[in-house]
Amino acid sequence: MIHVHGYAAHDAQSPLVPFTFERRDVGPHDVQIEILFSGICHSDLHQARNDWRNSLYPMVPGHEIIGRVVKVGAHVTKLKAGDFAGVGCMVDSCRQCSACHEGLEQYCEEGPTLTYNGRERGSEQLTFGGYSDQIVVEEHFTVKVPATLDLKAVAPLLCAGITTYSPLRHWKVGPGQKVGVIGLGGLGHMGIKFAKALGAHVVMITTSPGKGKDATRLGADEVLISRDADAMAAHKASFDFLLNTIPVPHDLNPYVNLLKRDKTMALVGVLTELEPPLSGGNLIMGRKSVAGSSIGGMAETQEMIDFCAEHNIVSDVEIVPIQSVNEAYERLLKNDVKYRFVIDMASLRQEAA
C-alpha cells in the first residue's frame, strides 16, 4: 500500500483537516501520480458540507488533478514516468454498457466511479480525491497533459473545462454561429474561451453589467444584460446555441426566447429543480430544445486537453496553499474568485515533511 497525506472533511460541519490514508499499490494497468495541483470545484464545497445529502465520510475532495507520473504498471502504454497527467471527475466505470462502449463513460448505465465520495468497484473502499499528495488511477481514466501548458491553470480543465467543452462539441458549435454563454463564473469563463476558439460569435449573457469588461477580455464579442428587456427583445430568436452555466434555480423562459427555430439551450450548472416552470409554448413555437450535459468521456477529455494545447487555453486561477482551503470555501460562497481556486500541493508536502 502507498502511504498518502491529504486533507479531509470528517462531517458536514467541521473544517477540512490533515488526514493520512492508504492507496492501493500500482497494478498492471495503473498509474501512480504525484499530485502537483488540485482545483477547487464548487461541488467540493457542496459534497464536503453534505448539501446534496449523499456525502460519505471521511472525504478527501478534489477532481481536478494535475501531477507528474512517478510509476506505471507493466501494461501501461499511454504514459511513462516523468510525464504530466490529469485525473478528472471519475476513475472507473462498468466498461460493459452501451455508453462505455461508445466512449461516454460519464453516462455509464451503472454509474461511473467518482474520483471522491464514491466506492471503488466491487469494494467498500472509499475513493479519495485530489486534496492529497498521491493518487493511483487506472490508465484509461487519465489524460496526458502537454508540458507546454501552464500546469497550475490546467487543473480546472478536468471539470469546468470539460463540462463546457463537451456540450459545445456535441451540438457542433463552430464558425458562423451566434452562441450565448449564460453566467460568468468558473464554468462561464471557460465557455467563452472555448466557443471563441471554435470560431463562434460569442455573446456573454449576464445579469451584472460590471462583468462586461472581463467578458470581453476573455473573448466575448458582445455582452447582453439579461435584465434589460429591450436588449433581450433585440436578440430574440437569434442564437444558434445557448450554454447555460447558472448553478441555481432560475427562469429559463427568457433565454428560450433567444433561440432560433430548432436550436438548443444546454444546462450544465443547475442540478436542482427548475423554477419557475418552463412554458411549453416557448418550446413548441419554434421546436426549441432545453437539454442537459455532464462532463465528457475520456476520449473527449483528452481531445479537449489537446485542443487547449493547440489554442493555448487554460483557466483563470488563483493559487492557494492547502492550509487555506477552508478560507477558499468561504470565499467560494461569496463568489470571491476569478475564476477558479487551485491548490498548490507543494504546501502539503512541506507540511507533511
What local confidence, expressed as pLDDT, does residue 278 receive?
Answer: 93
Domains assigned to the chain: 2-159+297-352 (3.90.180.10), 161-292 (3.40.50.720)
What local confidence, expressed as pLDDT, does residue 274 receive?
Answer: 86
In sequence order, which residues have a C-beta less than 8 Å from that of residue 169 and are 6 or more positions away?
A: 296, 300, 303
Q: Residues 83-123: pLDDT tens digits?
A: 999 999 999 999 999 999 999 999 999 999 999 999 999 88
Entry pTM = 0.97
Residue 144 Cα distances to 109, 128, 180, 198, 202, angstroms: 26, 21, 31, 22, 29
Q: Residues 208-262: pLDDT tens digits?
A: 999 999 999 999 999 999 999 999 999 999 999 999 999 999 999 999 999 999 9
Give the C-alpha separation, 114 to 105, whole Å: 11
CB–CB of 290/315 below 8 Å?
A: no
